Structure 1
Amino acid sequence: MNKSAQPVHAKILAFDVFGTVVDWHSSIVREVQALRPAVDGKAFALAWRAGYRPAMARVMSGELGWTRIDDLHRLILDSILPQFGLDDFSEADRQHLNTAWHRLDPWPDVVAGLTRLKSRYTICTLSNGNIGLLTNMAKRAGLPWDCVLSAEVFHAYKPDPATYLGVAKVFDLAPAQVMLVAAHQDDLAAARECGLQTAYIERPAEFGAARPKDVSPDPANTWHAKDFLALADQLDC
């Protein structure tokens, strides 16, 4: 915890989702191997995720108009299938696999941790995922959000300031009364630039056990926690 960075009591905890709340890597491995067991599911998951930022950049640059993440995921999927010998996938298989992002499993601490945090704070998503995706994910995984906010609401992807400041506007609060909870330091840095408090969550296995992340603390964050249960302990929930 960086005590000097917390002059105001936060009222809203806004959560990044992919990697912070849900284990996208293991979930995508499971989904692709259910369709084609011989495929290197780990490499496939990493390749699909690697296309995420370049695809968003096409929208942010104006090359593409506003595009939901579901549709960006499909563009990336179609582009990588031939690399894995899967260009024979039927349209039905492609549609099913593309919605794998709706079926991502939460990390083991998440549901219990969110339930505790919800007892004291309003909890919502702040994800580049679209509303339908996030809602289906929450329904399947039992994620107890008070509100689902998405880049789709603001027609801007993180790290555009419109997303972070948009949460404060939705709840008619000052930015300092909102805390972004995320497992990505770049996301948190952008939120701090907008005046939000920040909590870093360690997810060392986000990219799989073979590619552990550096989860070293950054003193610029208001809080640093191993997982949601540890954050709930720190926030007296």
Structure 2
Amino acid sequence: MFTSLSTRRAVRAILFDTFGTLVDWRSGIVAAIDEFTVSAGLHLDPERIADKWRARYQPSMEPIRTGERDYVTLDVLHDENLRAVLNDSGVHPERFDAELLERLSRAWRRLRPWPDVAGGVDQLRRSYPVGPLSNANTALLIDLSRFAKLSWDVVLGSDVFRSYKPDPKVYRRAATFLGLDPGEVMLVAAHNDDLTGARRAGLATGFVLRANEYGAGQVSDLTATGDWDVIARSVPDLAQWLVR
């Protein structure tokens, strides 16, 4: 077992952030928007729309974290954010067939994993229970995991906690569901802010670099900005540290 220097506990389970860390959301969403624009006869820049859609991700969750809004699933937020982005681009969503718009909104369930993910997760599963700890809701995660051919011991979506990371209760309750102390659970993520939230909640932390999550122009999360327990280039690299 790997012992975390930050928590001074042996790690007994590994949970993963999903979008960006495990799956290449941007390529998948750009392709889905391109398909939508062709089907709808539109002239939109798929990369621009994808980036604007993703930019609404964290701000749309903040009122739920603060209690200003009752919990709704990420499926709902994705749909609301998509409609807002289309409206801002001069495209009125009500013009389109509801099924066509829903297929685009649910594109977050059809994303491919980074090439290193499946093999690395399988390596870790030989020694640890593993699963996603994501802001996605459980139904979304199940569909996404089946599409990406990822096998888990547990799936923890935001609807289990009725809040969104980095709310501390999300990380701590995840440990409780596993019957573990927070310090015995490691969160693995490509995002320093997620790992900051996990550490504040008492979890061990692992950083995996995803330098192209936002495309060639990415400017954030190009390095680990904290003294995380493990800093890795890939999931198999992470497994080299954790599986002894």
Residue of structure 2 in register with 1:103 after alignment: 110
Residue of structure 1 in register with 2:160 after alignment: 153
SS of the counterpart of 1:137? helix
Question: Counterparts of 1:19 and 1:89 in 2: how far apart (Å)?
Answer: 29
For the structure 1 residues 51 and 218, does the alpha-carbon distance in structure 2 shift closer, same or farther, using more than 3 Å as the test?
Answer: closer
Residue of structure 2 in register with 1:56 after alignment: 61
Q: Are the aligned partners of 2:172 and 2:201 in contact in 1 as well (CA < 8 Å)?
A: yes
Q: Are the aligned partners of 1:131 and 1:148 in contact in 2 as well (CA < 8 Å)?
A: yes
Q: Are the aligned partners of 2:13 and 2:130 in contact in 1 as well (CA < 8 Å)?
A: yes
Q: For 1:138-195, what per-residue CA distance to the aligned partner results, in whole angstroms no more than 9, with x for missing partners? A: 0111111111001210111111111110111011111110000001111101111111
Structure 1 counterpart of 2:162, one-letter code: H
Q: Are the aligned partners of 1:6 and 1:222 in contact in 2 as well (CA < 8 Å)?
A: no
Q: Are the aligned partners of 1:102 and 1:137 in contact in 2 as well (CA < 8 Å)?
A: yes
Structure 1 counterpart of 2:200, one-letter code: E
Residue of structure 1 in register with 2:86 after alignment: 81
Question: Counterparts of 1:214 and 1:185 in 2: how far apart (Å)?
Answer: 6
Q: CA deviation at 1:118?
A: 0.7
Q: For 1:112-134, what per-residue CA distance to the aligned partner results, in whole angstroms no more than 9, with x for missing partners? A: 11111111110011101000000
Q: Does 1:173 align with 2:180?
A: yes
User: How many positions carry a matched residue from both structures?
Assistant: 237
Q: Paired residue for 2:134, among 119, 122, 127?
A: 127
Structure 2 counterpart of 1:8, one-letter code: R
> CA RMSD for the aligned pairs?
1.9
Question: Counterparts of 1:147 and 1:173 in 2: how far apart (Å)?
Answer: 14
Residue of structure 1 in register with 2:12 after alignment: 11
> Identity over the aligned pairs, expressed in percent?
37
Q: Does 1:196 align with 2:203?
A: yes
Q: Are the aligned partners of 1:13 and 1:121 in contact in 2 as well (CA < 8 Å)?
A: yes
Q: Which TM-score applies when normalising by structure 1?
A: 0.94
Q: CA deviation at 1:210?
A: 2.7
Q: For 1:180-231, what per-residue CA distance to the aligned partner results, in whole angstroms no more than 9, with x for missing partners? A: 0001111101111111100001001111123254422335200000110111
SS of the counterpart of 2:222? coil
Q: Paired residue for 2:74, among 42, 62, 69?
A: 69
Question: Counterparts of 1:219 and 1:82 in 2: how far apart (Å)?
Answer: 39
Q: For 1:59-97, what per-residue CA distance to the aligned partner results, in whole angstroms no more than 9, with x for missing partners? A: 233342110000011110111113334323321111110
Q: Are the aligned partners of 2:7 and 2:202 in contact in 1 as well (CA < 8 Å)?
A: no
Q: Are the aligned partners of 1:16 and 1:125 in contact in 2 as well (CA < 8 Å)?
A: yes
Q: Does 1:209 align with 2:210?
A: no
Question: Counterparts of 1:168 and 1:68 in 2: how far apart (Å)?
Answer: 21
Q: Are the aligned partners of 1:205 and 1:213 in contact in 2 as well (CA < 8 Å)?
A: no
Question: Counterparts of 1:82 and 1:218 in 2: how far apart (Å)?
Answer: 36
Question: Counterparts of 2:176 and 2:74 in 1: how far apart (Å)?
Answer: 23
